[in-house]
Amino acid sequence: MPEFVSNLIFIFQRLDWLGIIDILLVTFIFYGLLRLLYDTKAMVLLRGAMVLFVLTALLTSLVSLPAFSFLVRSALPALLFSIPVIFAPEIRRALERIGRAGTLMTTRSQTSIEELEKTIKAIVAASARLSARQHGALIVLQRMDNLEEYVRTGVQLDSRITPEMFLQVFYPNTPLHDGAVILDDTRMLAAACVMPLSASGILAHSPDRQMGLRHRAALGISEVSDAIAVVVSEETGAISIAHSGRMIRRLDAERLENILTAFFGTDTNKREKNIIKRFFPYLFPRKEE
């Protein structure tokens, strides 16, 4: 113990302001990576890898196991090369955010506040009318993460966003009513798009069972991207919204509009804060719903 304390004192004596900046920078990077992986499947894999690493280190250091130690040393390079494959979706998402950093402000400035307000009002009006008719719907709003791979699975539309367009697309037994509609600011990119299904098990523990594939798809796309998904239940007509693997249910039109406005912002200060939150989500801890 005295030797450990003396080593700590020796380290602190040699620590200067450049060393402090160096430590803080590394800490900031690791904290950002952990926040990026928070509540994703990659976080589960990371925990498993850390447990396996600790157990392996304990076995090789505390017990003399030559054959096992040789196997670990031989397999370690292959494990390091497998990291980009295992975490490929998260790495791609991070690179997309960095790559779009230079164009985000320009794109958002070209989209006027009035146009965003019209888009939100069209979504709210359509959701209310679909809810009253109990017509199922899934509306996905693209944000920073590119959803082009999901757009390609549907029927290309590239049309203006109007309540009547939503009602036509989600009318029962029509060719486009199954699947999701993907929006990008003020354009409806595609309909009948196939979304990834959530495997988190959140819906399985829900007190009611009226949530089917649409709700699983809404949670699924919110888990793999920063998109916002609005769902109208075909069974009950209830309106829900999903984001970051969480779902808020039983919304009325007013609350849905308030939530969408909070996400996208209709004034300059809110829009700037939303942009900062998209690049640095760890600066804005998420509150439990």
Determine, yes or no, domain membership for 148. yes
CATH number of the domain encompassing residue 275: 3.40.1700.10
Q: What is the DSSP letter of 40?
A: S
| In a shared domain, residues 73 and 136 | no
User: How many angstroms separate the CA atoms of 100 and 191, rounded?
Assistant: 24
Do the domain assignments include residue 53?
yes
- Nearest Cα neighbor of 229 from 204, 195, 252 is 195
Same domain, 92 and 161: no
Q: Are residues 93 and 116 in the same domain?
A: no
Residues 151 and 272 in one domain: yes
The verdict on 279 and 228 lying in the same domain is: yes
Pinpoint the alpha helices (H) of 134-229. Answer: 148-151, 163-169, 213-224
* 3-state SS assignment for residue 213: helix
The verdict on 89 and 118 lying in the same domain is no
Q: What is the per-residue burial (b if ≥16 Cβ within 10 Å, else e) of 214-238?
A: bbbbbbbbbbbbbbbbbbbbbeebb
Edge-to-edge strand ranges of the sheet holding 246-251: 155-160, 187-193, 180-184, 137-142, 228-232, 239-243, 246-251
Q: Is 198 helix (H, G, I), strand (E, B) or coil?
A: coil
Same domain, yes or no, for 251 and 126? yes
Q: Which are the contacts of 169, defined by CB distance < 8 A and separation ≥ 6? A: 176, 177, 181, 191
Q: Is residue 105 part of a domain?
A: no
| Domain-ending residue, one of 99, 120, 152 | 99
**Which pLDDT score, from 0 to 100, does residue 286 have?**
47
Question: Among candidates 188, 186, 150, 194, which has minimal Cα distance to 169?
Answer: 188
Question: How do strand 246-251 and strand 180-184 relate by DSSP bridges?
Answer: unpaired
Q: Which helix (H) or strand (E) holds 238?
A: none
Q: Does residue 106 form part of some domain?
A: no
**Of the candidates 288, 143, 147, the residue with the CA atom closest to the CA atom of residue 226:** 143
d(CA 184, CA 205): 32
Examine residue 32 and state whether it is found in any structural domain, yes or no: yes
* Residue 215 contacts residue 247 (beta carbons within 8 Å): yes
Whether 195 and 234 share a structural domain: yes
* Residue 198 pLDDT: 82
Q: Does a structural domain hold residue 166?
A: yes
Check residue 24 and give its pLDDT.
Answer: 87
> Does residue 71 sit in the same domain as residue 140?
no
Q: Where a domain ends, among 73, 99, 125?
A: 99
Residue 288 covered by a domain: no
List pLDDT tens digits, range 246-264. Answer: 888 889 999 999 999 888 7
Domain end marker among 77, 99, 121: 99
Whole-number pLDDT of residue 109:
46
Show the domain range for 190.
112-283
82 falls within a domain: yes
Q: Are residues 82 and 204 in the same domain?
A: no
Same domain, 93 and 200: no
How far is residue 286 from each of residues 9, 47, 277, measured CA to CA in Å? 38, 21, 11
Q: Enumerate residue ranges in the chain where pLDDT < 70.
A: 1, 3-4, 8, 10-12, 36-45, 83, 86-112, 200-211, 265-289
User: How many domains would you assign to the chain?
Assistant: 2
3-state helix, strand, coil in the chain (%, to 5): 60, 15, 25
Q: Regarding beta strands 180-184 and 137-142, do their DSSP bridges make them parallel or antiparallel, or are they unpaired?
A: parallel
Instruction: Tell whether 53 and 116 lie within a shared domain.
Output: no
